[in-house]
Amino acid sequence: LYTTPDSCEGRCGEPFSEEDECHCHSECGGHHNCCEDYERHCGPAGFSRSSDSITDQELLELSEELYGMDHNKARPSDIAIHPQHLAGPEETGDKQDRSPQPLYKYVNEELFSKPTYASFIKLLDNYQRATGREEEVTAEELREQDRFLQEVMETELMKRLFAFLQGKNRYGSEREFLQDLKEMWFGLYSRGDGERDSSGFEHVFSGEVKKGKVSGFHNWIRFYLLEKQGVVNYFSHNFNGPWDTYPDVLGLQFSWDGFYKEVGSAFIGCSPEFELGLYTLCFLARPGRPCHLSLGGHRLSVQTYPWTKSTYGGGRRFIATAYVMSP
């Protein structure tokens, strides 16, 4: 189901990329850089068909489609941000607050009444941010996870993503896709001392604190809500994307209750389903490697990593992290 950087499973015929650890295209044998399992997956008796691989061009085209289908995104009039200081490379790590005003000047909170936003926001208080402390998941929290996934699957964007993945033989039914989304994003694993203290969703969207630093925390809605409460303090930005509508991308520095995030990144103004969908696509297609996409004619990349220390469902990987890359 998943591709991994050192395997040809699901990657037969994938075009050459210098970023890959090993290769699965038909010429790799002559270059002596095939993955070890090339013959098993891609040889004459292999079961991983080249038509099931996801090409770079398909990623560019599908990401543009999903961008156009983000019907729940913020309009330009819904959000006003105040980026203030542009930090240079030597400034991002010095923990200096160079922006006296909040990042968000205005957000139209009517956005948050949309079903995918409302169900997403209900998930954010389900986690304790410190790693090493076991997460206790209540029946109500499990229902909130199911409700969120049901709501996102009602959107045109996620239905299109499923149709694409089904066409690539990644999933046989929408139910199977939904169940795997729940496991890869909400399944618990140990990021600390053996306690089941983390999940992909908690890390990426809610944020964690590990060894005195903010870890993950790549979501604009979470940031806005905590900044409004006075819990998050925006320091500066090191990247502001080229988009003049939403979603946009911001690389930023901030503190959360005194814990610092040196270089963070976030889509600004996208819907929860857009972020979930794009990260899921990249996790399935290019785990552990930059995933090159196109949004509104502008290129960008998403980086995801699988959690390698534990698995579920016969060897499938949880999401360790996913974020949009800022130069």
Q: For position 28, which CATH number holds?
A: 4.10.410.20
Residues 173 and 202 in one domain: yes
Number of compact structural domains in the chain: 2
Higher pLDDT: 32 or 50? It is: 32
Average pLDDT over residues 233-240: 97
What is the band of 47 on the pLDDT scale with cuts at 50, 70, 90? Answer: very low
Exactly one of 23, 41, 210, 261 is catalytic; name it. Answer: 261
Per-residue pLDDT tens for 148-166? 999 999 999 999 999 999 9
Domain holding 290, by residue range, is 54-325
What is the band of 130 on the pLDDT scale with cuts at 50, 70, 90? Answer: confident
Structure tokens at 236: 């500066």
- The contacts of residue 178 (CB under 8 Å, 6+ apart) are 149, 150, 153
Average pLDDT over residues 295-315: 91
211 is catalytic: no
Residues 4 and 77 in one domain: no
Residue 320: inside a domain: yes
203 is catalytic: yes
Residues 32 and 176 in one domain: no
Residue 16: other Cβ atoms inside 10 A:
12
Q: Residue 3 pLDDT more than 70? A: no
Residues 22 and 128 in one domain: no
25 is catalytic: no
Helices (H), 131-259: 139-153, 156-167, 174-186, 200-201, 220-229
Residues 104 and 219 in one domain: yes
Residues 237 and 266 in one domain: yes
Residues 148 and 14 in one domain: no
CA distance 204 to 97: 24
Residues 131 and 12 in one domain: no
Q: Residue 219 pLDDT more than 90? A: yes
Residues 154 and 275 in one domain: yes
Residues 16 and 90 in one domain: no
Exactly one of 41, 203, 210, 292 is catalytic; name it. Answer: 203
Average pLDDT over residues 174-182: 97
Taking the whole predicted model, whether its pTM rises above 0.85 is answered as: yes
Exactly one of 73, 210, 218, 237 is catalytic; name it. Answer: 218
Q: Residue 44 pLDDT more than 70? A: no
